[in-house]
Structure 1
Amino acid sequence: MRKQFVVIGLGRFGRSVAQTLSDLGHDVLAIDRNEHAVQLIMHNVTHAVQADAREEETLRALGVRNFDVAVVAIGDDLEANILITLMLKEMGIIVVTKAQSTQHGKVLERIGADKVIYPERDMGIRLAHNLIATNVLDFIELSPDYSIFETKASASFVNKTLGELDLRKNYGITVMAIKKKEDQIVVAPGAKAVIEDKDILVFVGNKKSLTKLPN
């Protein structure tokens, strides 16, 4: 389903979000005060506008209240970040906001941000996991203790069934899906599912369970 997004703040993070959403086929309005930042992305999104998003009249004139989701990607001006988030929420929009710190994030949550993200922190966590277990391809944090991980199948798992491996008992993880060659995905695989060479496992488990898995 095609959606409409407005991305405010076109630094590296905001530009990446805006361009990716556009590449995925959605309408994107990109806003920044800096003319050069707008020029860098103007050919890669639906609309790119040089404007001061701290002005409520400007946001209303651009029709921002009609968009499905707003992403506030401003990171270097906390006051602007908070003010814009507040105005957008008063307009009744779903708002995803970038936070610089936990304290900043708490303020954003208090004023109604629907989702607060910490790009630098999350990248640091991802890097740490990759350093600990080199077969980790990606992960999604569900809580401080549990995450969804995507890993290359260990050589010791190859040609064995999930029943034989009994990963829940031996490693405390539950396999949600197996990504096969040629983009085939086996969702909720049963005990008879066989792990093949170069398979990728998608599982949920405690973060500590990751260190128990063989490489």
Structure 2
Amino acid sequence: MKKQYAVIGLGRFGSHLARALYDEGNEVIGIDLNEEKVEAYQDSLSQAFIADSTEEASMKSLGLRNFDVVIVAIGDDMESSILTVVLLKELEVPYVVAKALSKRHGLVLTKVGADQVVFPERDMGLRLAKRLMHPNIIEHLKLSDDYSVEEIKIPSSLVGTSIQQLNIRKRYRINVIAIRHKTDKMSISPHPTDVLTEGDLLVVIGTNDDLKSFSDTLENQ
């Protein structure tokens, strides 16, 4: 089901996010004070508006309370991002996602009502560091401080091996929840007799320590 999104702040993060949501067939409006940025995305989004997100009249006129999600992607102006979140919650926007520049900024955004706070620069840095240290890890999704889901490339030495033969749960205390094949087809909850083929990616879940142990073992094979 397609949704309605509004992205406030069309900088690098906001513009890429807005375009990605729009390309998936959603209704997406972009909002920014900078006229050049708004003009640049007039034809790339459902609509784009020049507006001050801290002014109640401007936000009311856009009907943001009717959108499924509003993302506050304001760049370096922490005061504006905080005031914008406060205003959006006063306007009864159902779900507000806010970009934080620091841990303290994130805490303030949460306290003033943001439903979700994201740290794009921090998260990208952590993901890049993990990829550089562990090239076989294609994707990493943190579920909590202790648990994660990872998509791991299997070495050629494991091609032709079944899930049962790997004995991952017993040896590493992690679980295989899916296999992504080279064709991009996903096998959810694979059967123990399923055999790994060239280019397969294992989607596994477990504690961060156990996942690291498994990844380190694969790198040495």
**TM-score normalised by the chain length of structure 1:** 0.96
**In structure 1, C-alpha distance between the alignment counterparts of 2:91 and 2:191, rounded to whole Å:** 47
Matches of 2:172 and 2:66, distance apart in 1: 48
Aligned to 2:204: 203
- Cα displacement string for residues 153-203 of structure 1 (whole angstroms, at most 9, x for unaligned residues): 122321111111111222232111001132221101121111111101111
Corresponding residue for residue 45 of structure 1: 45
Alignment of 1:76-155 (within 5 A): 76-93=76-93, 94-155=95-156
> What does residue 157 of structure 1 align with?
158
- Kindly indicate whether the alpha-carbon contact (under 8 Å) linking 2:182 and 2:198 is maintained by their aligned counterparts in 1: no
* CA–CA separation in structure 2 for the residues paired with 1:173 and 1:41: 44
Aligned counterparts of 1:39 and 1:203: Cα–Cα separation in 2: 44
Q: CA deviation at 1:40?
A: 1.7
**Does structure 1 conserve the Cα–Cα contact (< 8 Å) formed by 2:205 and 2:211?**
no
| Maintained 8 Å contact 2:110/2:117 | yes
Aligned residue pair count: 215
Q: Deviations over 1:78-97 (max 9, x none)?
A: 01100111111122220000
Q: CA deviation at 1:31?
A: 0.3
CA deviations 1:111-147 (Å, max 9, x no partner) are 1211100001101110111022101111111011211
What stretches of structure 1 of length at least 5 have no aligned partner?
Answer: none
Q: Which whole-Å CA distance do the structure 2 matches of 1:31 and 1:3 have between them?
A: 17
TM-fit CA distance, 1:64: 1.1
5 Å matches for 1:49-88? 49-88=49-88
Match of 2:195 in 1: 194
Q: Which runs of 4+ in 1 moved over 3 A?
A: none
Normalising by structure 2, we get a TM-score of 0.93
* RMSD between superposed Cα atoms in Å: 1.2
Which stretches in structure 2 are left out of the alignment for 5+ residues? none
**% identity of equivalent residues:** 44
